[in-house]
């Protein structure tokens, strides 16, 4: 990553039976939103929280087959963010880094539940190398 502006956010919508309606994951880098097109949302829509939490990342790679390492990385971030938001919503996984994954709001409407989560960058970031200085392989 070319800069230390690496916050992410996810907004999750569940129906009243705790099944996924949709979610929007956005990675913010250098004030630009980066989104994944790997098909993870379509893969998860209609699944229960338990079904989503049972999805293993290696299984997901085999089924969605990301086109590049960048897409694979974004898919991992999306998978991790959705899991963290759902785990916090149900009060699970005491090992979750609650400083990194922060629920901003949970709201309930007549037909849906909305979870908003902010994902902060790690405290120990690798050395920042501007894109124009980075060596190309």
pTM for the model stands at: 0.81
3-class DSSP state for residue 116? strand
Q: What is the pLDDT of residue 2?
A: 45
76 falls within a domain: yes
What CATH number did the domain enclosing 41 receive? 3.90.1010
Domain that holds residue 73: 8-119
Tens of pLDDT along 6-19?
Answer: 678 999 999 999 99
Tens of pLDDT along 23-81?
Answer: 999 876 655 556 666 789 999 999 999 999 999 999 999 999 998 888 888 899 899 99
> How many folded domains does the chain comprise?
1
Both structure tokens of 135: 């060596």
- pLDDT band at residue 5, thresholds of 50, 70 and 90? low
Cβ neighbours for 130, distance < 8 A, ≥ 6 positions apart:
2
Tens of pLDDT along 102-131?
Answer: 999 999 999 999 999 999 886 665 565 565
- Distance from C-alpha of 84 to C-alpha of 86, rounded to nearest angstrom: 6
Alpha helices in 47-92 (DSSP H): 49-53, 57-64, 69-90
| 57-64 vs 69-90: helix crossing angle, rounded to 10 | 130
124 falls within a domain: no
Cβ neighbours for 8, distance < 8 A, ≥ 6 positions apart:
25, 26, 27, 28, 77, 81, 118, 119
100 falls within a domain: yes
65 falls within a domain: yes
- pLDDT band at residue 92, thresholds of 50, 70 and 90? confident
Q: What is the pLDDT of residue 86?
A: 96
33 falls within a domain: yes
Both structure tokens of 121: 């960058």
3-class DSSP state for residue 117? strand
128 falls within a domain: no
50 falls within a domain: yes
Given a cut of 70, whether residue 135 has pLDDT beyond it is no
């Amino acid at each position: 990553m070319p800069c230390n502006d690496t916050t992410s956010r996810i907004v999750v919508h569940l129906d009243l039976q705790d099944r996924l309606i949709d979610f929007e994951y956005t990675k913010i880098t250098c004030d630009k939103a980066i989104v994944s097109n790997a098909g993870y949302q379509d893969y998860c829509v209609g699944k229960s929280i338990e079904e989503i939490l049972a999805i293993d990342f290696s299984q997901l790679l085999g089924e969605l087959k990301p086109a590049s390492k960048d897409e694979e990385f974004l898919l991992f971030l999306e998978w991790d963010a959705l899991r963290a938001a759902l785990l916090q919503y149900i009060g699970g996984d005491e090992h979750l880094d609650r400083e990194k994954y922060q629920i901003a709001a949970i709201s309930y409407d007549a037909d849906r539940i909305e979870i908003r989560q902010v994902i902060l960058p790690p405290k120990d970031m690798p050395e920042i190398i501007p894109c124009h200085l980075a060596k190309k392989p």
